[in-house]
Every structure is written in C-alpha cells, then in structure tokens.
Amino acid sequence: MGQPIRILLQTTIPSIKDDWNIDRFSLLRDHLASLKDENDKPLCTVTARNRETNAEGNEVILSVLDTTDFDELWLFAVDAGDGLSVADCQGITRFRQRGGGILATRDHQDLGSSLCTLGGVGRAHFFHTRHPDPDESRHVRDDQDTKTISWPNYHSGSNGDYQRITAVEPVHELLRNPNNISGVIEYFPAHPHEGGVGVPDGDEHPRVIATGVSQVTRRPFNLMVAFESTRDEHGNSLGPAVAESSFHHLVDYNWDTAKGCPSFLAEPPGDQIQREPEKLDDVKTYAGNLARWLAPSN
C-alpha cells in the first residue's frame, strides 16, 4: 500500500471573505478527501489554503513548493494579475520539474492573469491584456449580459446550470466516466463568462481534450488543455498538467448555489443542478480522475 496522494489546493489571493477564497472550494476539498483507493483506504490527503506571503512578498509554500512533500498543486488563480511572485513561479516550475502534477485554472478577461508569469502550463492561458489568444477572431465579447467583463468571456450557461461538453477524440482518460452509457463525461457546471485556453505555439506535447459551446454565439471554445508527462531539454521529468478555462467548474457556488457567492457576482443563477443533482457525478468523477492522473505514479 502506497501513501495517499498529497494534494495542495491553493488560491492566489489572501484570505478575503468577500472573494473567491479557499473556503469557497470546500465541496471539492471534501469530495477529494472522501475518495478511496482499491484497498478502501483514503486516496488523497488534502491541504487547502490561501496566499500567505513572507517579508519578501513571496508565497510561503509556493516559492519553495519543490522542497515540500506535495504530489499535486491545484492552483486557483483568482487574482487581478498580481497573485504570483517571480519566486513563486520558480518554486512551481521546480516542483513540476521534479514530477509534480499541476492544475492551473482561472476565469474571464484578466482574472488570474498572474498565470502568464508561469512557464509551461501558464502559456496555455489566454487573457485580455496579457498573452492574448493568437487567434484574433476570438478577441470579441461573447457574454453580452455583463457589460463590465470583456473577452475572453465565453457564455457556457448560468451559474447553477450545466453545460454539455465534448470530449475531443481520442478521449483522454481524464474524461472517462464508466457510470455513463457513453463511457465519457458529458456535463460540467456552466458559467456565464469562462476564460480562454489553448495549446501554446511551438509546444507539441499538450493537446485540447474538451470543448464547450457558447450559449450566445454557438461558437465552440476550449475547456481544458492536458500536458502529458515528458522530459524537457535539460533532462527533467516534467509532471503532468492541466490548464482549465474556469475555476467555476470546481467552486462551491457552481455545485450548489445555496453555498453563496461574493457580492460582486451579479448574474442570476439557474436551477438545473438543484433539479438534477445526479449530473454532478460527471464533474466529481473528473475531479477523481484528475487526482489520480496528476499523481507522479499515475
């Protein structure tokens, strides 16, 4: 019997009550902690925390992440662009170079754009004013309702509703769900303004593995990009990684709107998840798949 997978759930902001602080990811935390391995032992141990800085302004864990015993970093970039220091990015990079797995997710426009300063998986994220999508035809507003939010802002549906997703062939193991007749994950929580992700120019290792469709323009958009384990030019064995378009797929409010949200979120919620909670099995299965796939011994 091996040790449980050690997962760090981490936001890029301090503990701010009226924001997307780590307490708003409690359902994900509890779900991961409930998972069992083939011997009915805990699959994971989960540490959930907000950003804490030292005297130099560096995050006390992320800046030395490679020296910790964590196997995975699930990074929720919920900042306005200043959520990672240079030392933080270096610590995260060294962590992946020693085989650590990374989920990096953000949201619309420039929310979470500190990910631009992170090499590798950070380059798969496209923002409004930093590292925009190389496809200039996507430099247009998709969500038309919230006028204060500009592109990228793909409208996959209301918070509290589902979106139908498409697993790109060949279907990646992250998107398998044997409980569905199709054998694949079909539904994700929806969000009115998702961010943009894509394969970085010149990188032949990652690929888009799932797409969604705008409920406004009917335009497809990328939901996630997967980076397989590989060796870099220096011989480091890079851990697997995923760039995901929105942290709203995993936050409490988009699994259960009764959990509430920060006061600045003004869009009225939908009620599909409340009416059909069984479809949440898809995103919970995805979270379990992700925990296993990102682990160094996957």
**pTM given for the model:** 0.97
Assigned superfamily of 5-294: Class I glutamine amidotransferase (GATase) domain (3.40.50.880)
Q: Percent of the chain, pLDDT > 90? A: 91
- The secondary element (H helix, E strand) that includes residue 233 is none
| Per-residue confidence (pLDDT) for residue 297, from 0 to 100 | 67
Determine the length of the chain.
298
| Per-residue confidence (pLDDT) for residue 202, from 0 to 100 | 81
Partners of residue 112 on adjacent β-strands: none
| Per-residue confidence (pLDDT) for residue 266, from 0 to 100 | 87
DSSP sequence for 66-83: GGS--SEEEEE--SSS-S
| Per-residue confidence (pLDDT) for residue 1, from 0 to 100 | 46
| Per-residue confidence (pLDDT) for residue 2, from 0 to 100 | 77
Ranges of each domain in the chain = 5-294
**CB-CB neighbours of 47 under 10 Å:** 14
Q: Give every residue of the chain whose pLDDT is below 50, as ranges.
A: 1
Mean residue pLDDT across the chain: 95
Q: What is the DSSP letter of 269?
A: P
| Per-residue confidence (pLDDT) for residue 164, from 0 to 100 | 98
Task: Give the helix, strand, coil percentages of the chain, each rounded to 5.
Answer: 25, 20, 50
